[in-house]
């Protein structure tokens, strides 16, 4: 864990722009130094009053928070005229059109939130070609965003990977050049939201972090999305931290955990239980920041109030679990520090990719072309599509086929018979977490007993 | 515990075994992919060869892929609620191409935003040129039955060798 808010020396001599917010990387480091989990929503509203009220509510929440400005779909694809027209017509947009509003308007809004003093804000978008968005957020006095050449290209776009790599290289350099200590988060730990085994998630997140550093960033975060097994998630985050220390030790870095990104529980109790488990996971693993989901998730777009409730629930759960160690949960301490199978798998992938070319961008392109990296169930034309994965009987995510990835071949002899992945079993896997948490919630009778520090779903593991 | 999954290596044999070559695609505005992966697995399970061209497919790309891969059938899936709009547009484009006017093309998924009332989109999509429409609320069984019928050898000599059946009960 980084405890020094100051940036390590060695960064490029940046043209220092005046920030309108607290520095994002330093804000998370400062919270981590006093043992507080930073919690963050997903949130984007089209109009300034709505966006400003959302940011103010997050700032005022009873938790250590950073704010989010999620951009709309038109802005993500660079269609700013349509975003402007929607604003003029009063039509709804699914996020904040930062380019259409203009830098002055956004900067004034952030000023009204009081962000310059102690509130950091991240811009979230989802674009494989983010240069215009990065320019707009810099113009507005913001210093943090997220994504990556792989993680914002393969899952949701038809953009060729080579174009995304070039665009992200330019965007990283602009960000690093314009603001000292600008922060960039890799979304690589969240590929497709579910069913990707953690070794590949950890490797992709780290490789994007190395890519960011190669293009000048000095403050980065690596992501990981909560999976299907608490024990395997502890291993994965331990592996990610160990690799970050080994490869990015000269940077200011932290880990960001995403509450489960797949099909979400429908019952309020099941959804809250899953959210609390993610907060406990963050606390036990020393994770610095967490992006929450809300009980409204399975039904509608969450309101500000939904988000505040989720942020505060997550903060309370993390505080309650602060004294828990992996050992107290029956987990091996060495495994939790990264001496585990997820580390071995991620390290094998990372080493194979880095050996392909000294330029990480070129190495990533070659790795996908050769199938050394192969995201299961990702239909992008630049993904080899020969890997498949599934949920094992013990609840962990495992490979069903590794394709050409440099991983140990699967031992078919240990199998129970040569059966292929059936479509119905695939559907069952997609809703595995939803079913598990909803079933547990429906089985439980309401009681007035105080909540134990160990969520029920963990105790059952 | 985990036998290797099918990786597509066995695909060239599918047609010889009575299977068909099926092109699976989404529509231009829909970025969802889990539905497409499910369809691929189900079609492979039934012995078909699948070419899955993914989400957010522009109409021009779909037409080009139909020509490039010469499928026996095209399966369009959409779950974002715009499927009835995107679907009508793309099938009009496709049917306007003389070499593709008789290609069997079906569409399914969550085709509108009105839940159970989405079935109302069936007749208009059939009229626009789809051979069958499978709304999500009817489940996947009608589509499975359609595939079984499509795979059966056609005994009648008259008419095109394609079944005319819709889950909505509106044969073309």
Per-residue pLDDT tens digits for B25-55: 999 888 899 999 999 999 999 999 999 999 9
Q: Please, which pLDDT band fits residue A312 given cuts at 50, 70 and 90?
A: very high
Residues 6 or more apart whose CB falls under 8 angstroms from that of A185 comprise A122, A144, A145, A146, A147, A220, A221, A222, A223, A256
> Could you tell me the two tokens for B39?
């369809």
Indicate the helix (H) or strand (E) that contains A253. strand A252-258
Tell me whether A13 touches chain B (CB under 8 Å). no
Per-residue pLDDT tens digits for A196-254: 999 999 999 999 999 999 999 999 999 999 999 999 999 999 999 999 999 999 999 99
- List CB contacts (< 8 A) between B35 and chain A: none
B27-48 per-residue burial string, b: 16 or more CB within 10 A, e: under 16 = bbbbebbbbbbbbbbbbbebeb
Q: What is residue B15's predicted lDDT score, i.e. its pLDDT?
A: 61
- With CB atoms and an 8 Å threshold, state whether B33 touches A378: yes
Q: Please, which pLDDT band fits residue A460 given cuts at 50, 70 and 90?
A: very low
d(CA A247, CA A371): 23
Given its phi and psi angles, is residue A62 left (phi above 0), alpha (psi -120 to 50 degrees) or beta? beta
Q: What is residue A297's predicted lDDT score, i.e. its pLDDT?
A: 79
Q: Which residues of B touch A (CB under 8 A)?
A: 1-8, 31, 33-34, 36-39, 41-42, 44-45, 52-57
Search chain B and give the residue with CA nearest A388.
Answer: B5
Higher pLDDT, B81 or A367: A367
Q: What is residue A455's predicted lDDT score, i.e. its pLDDT?
A: 42
d(CA B163, CA A260): 43
Q: Which of A299-303, A305-309, A370-374 shows the lowest mean pLDDT across its residues?
A: A299-303
pLDDT over 90 at B3, yes or no: no
Contact B65, B26 (CB under 8 A): no
* Nearest CA distance, B156 vs chain A (angstrom): 33
* Averaged pLDDT for residues A60-64: 97
- List CB contacts (< 8 A) between A415 and chain B: 1-3
- List CB contacts (< 8 A) between A427 and chain B: 38
- With CB atoms and an 8 Å threshold, state whether A410 touches B2: yes
Question: For chain B, what is the mean pLDDT?
Answer: 82
- List CB contacts (< 8 A) between B2 and chain A: 390, 392, 398-400, 410, 412, 415
> Could you tell me the two tokens for A102?
């203009």
- With CB atoms and an 8 Å threshold, state whether B2 touches A420: no
Contact A373, A393 (CB under 8 A): no
Q: What is residue A456's predicted lDDT score, i.e. its pLDDT?
A: 40
Rounded to whole angstroms, what are the CA distances from B51 to A177, A229, B8, B20, B34?
Answer: 44, 33, 10, 11, 15
Note which residues in 380-439 of chain A have CB less than 8 A from chain B: 380-381, 385-386, 388, 390, 392-393, 398-401, 403, 410, 412, 414-423, 426-427, 430
* Averaged pLDDT for residues A340-362: 98
Q: Please, which pLDDT band fits residue B160 given cuts at 50, 70 and 90?
A: very low
Search chain A and give the residue with CA nearest B33.
Answer: A379
DSSP A110-121: HHHHTHHHH--E
pLDDT over 70 at B79, yes or no: yes
Q: Are strands A387-391 and A38-40 parallel, antiparallel or unpaired?
A: unpaired
| Residue among B2, B7, B31 whose CB faces A403 most closely | B7
Search chain A and give the residue with CA nearest B39.
Answer: A423
pLDDT over 70 at A287, yes or no: yes
Closest by CA to A71, choosing from A136, A19, A18, A118, is A136
Q: What is residue A257's predicted lDDT score, i.e. its pLDDT?
A: 98
| Residue among A380, A381, A420 whose CB faces B6 most closely | A420
Q: What is residue A440's predicted lDDT score, i.e. its pLDDT?
A: 94
* Averaged pLDDT for residues A67-80: 91
Q: What is residue B153's predicted lDDT score, i.e. its pLDDT?
A: 57
- With CB atoms and an 8 Å threshold, state whether A422 touches B45: yes
Per-residue pLDDT tens digits for A173-202: 999 999 999 999 999 999 999 999 999 999
DSSP B15-81: TTTT--EEEEE--TT----HHHHHHHHHHHHTT-EEEE--SS--HHHHHHHHHHH--SEEEEEE-SS
Give Cα B26 distance to the centre of its chain: 9
Q: What is residue B16's predicted lDDT score, i.e. its pLDDT?
A: 61
Question: For chain A, what is the mean pLDDT?
Answer: 90
| Interface probe with A: pick from B7, B11, B58, most Cβ of A within 10 Å | B7
Count of Cβ atoms closer than 10 Å to residue A319 Cβ:
16
Search chain A and give the residue with CA nearest B36.
Answer: A379
Q: Please, which pLDDT band fits residue A4 given cuts at 50, 70 and 90?
A: very low
Q: What is this structure's pTM?
A: 0.88
Contact A85, A111 (CB under 8 A): no
Per-residue pLDDT tens digits for A387-431: 999 999 999 999 999 999 999 877 554 443 335 789 999 999 999
- With CB atoms and an 8 Å threshold, state whether B6 touches A403: no
Is the CATH code 3.20.20.240 the one for domain A1-461? yes
pLDDT over 50 at B12, yes or no: no
d(CA B82, CA B77): 11
């Amino acid at each position: 864990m980084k405890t020094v808010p100051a940036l390590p020396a060695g960064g490029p001599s940046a043209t220092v722009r005046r920030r309108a917010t607290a520095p994002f990387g330093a804000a998370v480091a400062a919270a981590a130094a006093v043992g507080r989990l930073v919690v963050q929503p997903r949130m984007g509203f089209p109009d300034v009053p709505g966006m400003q009220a959302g940011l103010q509510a997050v700032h005022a929440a009873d938790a250590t928070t950073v704010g989010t400005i999620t951009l709309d779909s038109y802005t993500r694809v660079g269609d700013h005229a349509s975003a402007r027209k929607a604003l003029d017509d009063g039509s709804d947009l699914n996020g904040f059109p930062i380019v259409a509003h203009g830098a002055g308007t956004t900067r004034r809004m952030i000023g009204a939130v009081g962000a310059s003093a102690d509130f950091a804000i991240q811009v979230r978008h989802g674009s494989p070609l983010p240069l215009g968005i990065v320019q707009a957020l810099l113009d507005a006095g913001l210093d943090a965003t997220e994504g990556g050449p792989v993680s914002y290209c393969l899952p949701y776009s038809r953009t060729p990977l080579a174009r995304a790599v070039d665009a992200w290289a330019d965007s990283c350099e602009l960000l690093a050049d314009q603001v000292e200590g600008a922060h960039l988060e890799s979304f690589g730990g969240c590929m497709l939201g579910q069913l990707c085994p953690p070794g590949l998630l950890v490797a992709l997140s780290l490789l994007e972090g190395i890519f960011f550093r190669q293009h000048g960033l000095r403050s980065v975060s690596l992501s990981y999305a909560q999976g299907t097994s608490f024990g395997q998630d502890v291993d994965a985050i331990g592996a990610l931290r160990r690799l970050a220390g080994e490869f990015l030790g000269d940077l200011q870095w932290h880990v960001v955990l995403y509450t489960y990104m797949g099909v979400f529980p429908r019952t309020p109790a099941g959804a809250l239980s899953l959210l609390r488990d993610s907060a406990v996971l963050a606390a036990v693993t020393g994770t610095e920041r967490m992006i929450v989901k809300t009980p409204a998730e399975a039904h509608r777009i969450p309101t500000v109030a939904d988000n505040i409730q989720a942020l505060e629930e997550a903060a309370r759960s993390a505080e309650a679990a602060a004294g828990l160690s992996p050992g107290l949960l029956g987990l091996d301490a060495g495994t939790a520090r990264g001496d585990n199978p997820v580390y071995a798998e991620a390290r094998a992938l990372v080493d194979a990719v880095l050996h392909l070319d000294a330029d990480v961008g070129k190495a990533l392109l070659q790795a996908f072309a050769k199938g050394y990296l192969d995201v299961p169930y990702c239909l992008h034309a630049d993904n080899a599509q020969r890997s498949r994965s599934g949920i094992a009987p013990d609840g962990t995510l495992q490979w069903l086929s590794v394709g050409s990835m440099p991983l140990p071949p699967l031992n078919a002899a240990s199998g129970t018979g040569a059966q292929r992945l059936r479509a119905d079993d695939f559907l069952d896997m997609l809703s595995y977490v939803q079913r598990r948490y909803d079933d547990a919630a429906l089985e439980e009778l309401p009681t007035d007993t105080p909540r134990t520090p160990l969520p029920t779903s963990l105790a059952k593991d | 515990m985990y036998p290797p999954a099918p990786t597509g290596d066995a695909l060239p044999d599918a047609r010889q075994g009575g299977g068909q070559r099926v092109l699976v695609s989404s529509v231009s505005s829909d970025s969802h992919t889990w539905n497409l992966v499910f369809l691929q697995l189900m079609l492979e399970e039934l012995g078909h060869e699948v070419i899955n061209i993914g989400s957010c497919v522009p109409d021009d790309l779909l037409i080009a892929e139909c020509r490039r891969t010469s499928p026996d059938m095209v399966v369009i899936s959409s779950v974002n609620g715009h499927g009835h709009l995107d679907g009508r547009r793309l099938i009009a484009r496709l049917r306007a191409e003389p070499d593709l006017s008789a290609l069997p093309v079906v569409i399914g998924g969550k085709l509108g935003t009105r839940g159970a009332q989405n079935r109302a989109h069936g007749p208009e999509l059939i009229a626009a040129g789809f051979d069958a429409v499978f709304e999500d609320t009817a489940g996947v069984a009608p589509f499975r039955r359609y595939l079984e019928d499509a795979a059966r050898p056609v005994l009648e000599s008259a008419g095109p060798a394609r079944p005319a059946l819709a889950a909505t009960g509106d044969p073309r």
